[in-house]
Amino acid sequence: MMRGQRELVRRGEKDASGCAIFGVIDESGRRFTGEEAMRAIATMRERSCGLGGGFAAYGIYPERADLYALHVMFDSPASQEMTRGYLQSVCEIAHEEPIPTRPVEAIRSAPILHRYFVRPARGARERFGDAGDDDLVVRLVMYVNAEIEGAFVVSSGRNMGVFKGVGYPEEIGAFFRLEEYEGHAWLAHGRFPTNTGGWWGGAHPFGLLDWAVVHNGEISSYGRNRRYLSDFGYQCTLHTDTEVICYLCDLLSRRHALPLEVAACAMAPPFWSRIERMAAAEALLAKAVRTVYGGALLNGPFSIVVGHSRGLFGLNDRTKLRPMVAARSGDRLYLASEEAAIRAVCDSPDRVWHAEGGVPVVGALQEERVAQLAGTT
């Protein structure tokens, strides 16, 4: 038990930490350093506890935007060697290197941190029939996380990466030198994941392909969601509720091609009593989504910010049991647990409002920037 926690126990007080989340996107695609996200999340330090912090950044690898960037943690050189051997059997490794870090007094016992820039090998495509590259990378992530002891794929998207560990978020940001990276969107989180101890792989954000999720709250439907996802080949190996949100985003939006608003409706659908009061066409869609995607419904209090290749969105549970504040300033959209975090980096936003329960707040890249950032032009 950490010293501060022992003091709380002696005084008979409760640790009121409640997770801090933050997200920002510049919809014009203009990149900015991670210093802003570090400063914003540090404002909510009292929500954290020093056992978990992390960031997701989009647009940080423009020179390798056509490759999948695998951020991987290893417990030992043996697990690193085993993972590299597996990667070579299914991928072409275009480049690899240690993830740059700096000494930070509060950050200790860090795992081996390495990144690989890869593309699926032609032989792997033939082995799995008509599976696309994204599906092959998902298989790769599931295999490493479930089958290679001491190895964990932190993120696996193109032109993005997740940086996380045990510590306060601003300490994690300094450790990973995030002020040296530039991206057009950033996510940040403070505190460890629900229902697990603090460990490097278990800190937020959780990522798969270009999806990254930060979460405040608790998903009481985790068991049902996990069983539902297993029918589609997703293995939840982290035993934390947030992991299912990331995989549901991939299933609903990428594999089933649901519009973002419909995917959000599947995860946080209207109550039946509200559906009965809707107009006929709207009620028909809501009923269909609840019927077909019942296993994707998230129960419990939550506020989440989700990043992806075309933007980000925030979503509250249907009864808004966790806070989320949104703000706009020019091309910027901000989402945070507290307004103070937004004003720490944007002192005069054009508009500030509280997100509605079950209604996504969406930030989208301007379309002409999407292809450029994906490295396809």
Q: Which tokens sit at 148?
A: 């290679």
Residue type, 235: Q
Residue 371 backbone dihedrals phi, psi, to 5 degrees: -65, -40
Whether 322 contacts 305, CB under 8 Å: no
| Known catalytic residue at 249 | no
The 3-state secondary structure of the chain, one letter per residue: CCHHHHHHHHHCCCCCCCCEEEEEEECCCCCEECHHHHHHHHCCHHHCCCCCEEEEEECCCHHHCCCEEEEEEECCHHHHHHHHHHHHHHEEEEEEEECCCCCCCCCCCCCEEEEEEEEECHHHHHHCCCCCHHHHHHHHHHHHHHHCCCEEEEECCECEEEEEECCCHHHHHHHCCHHHCEECEEEEEECCCCCCCCCHHHCCCEEECCEEEEEEECCCCHHHHHHHHHCCCCCCCCCCCHHHHHHHHHHHHHHCCCCHHHHHHHHCCCCHHHHCCCCHHHHHHHHHHHHHCHHHCCCCCEEEEEEECCEEEEEECCCCCCCCEEEEECCEEEEECCHHHHHCCCCCCCEEEECCECCCEEEECCHHHHHHHCCCC
Residue 141 backbone dihedrals phi, psi, to 5 degrees: -60, -45
Q: Which residues are catalytic?
A: 19
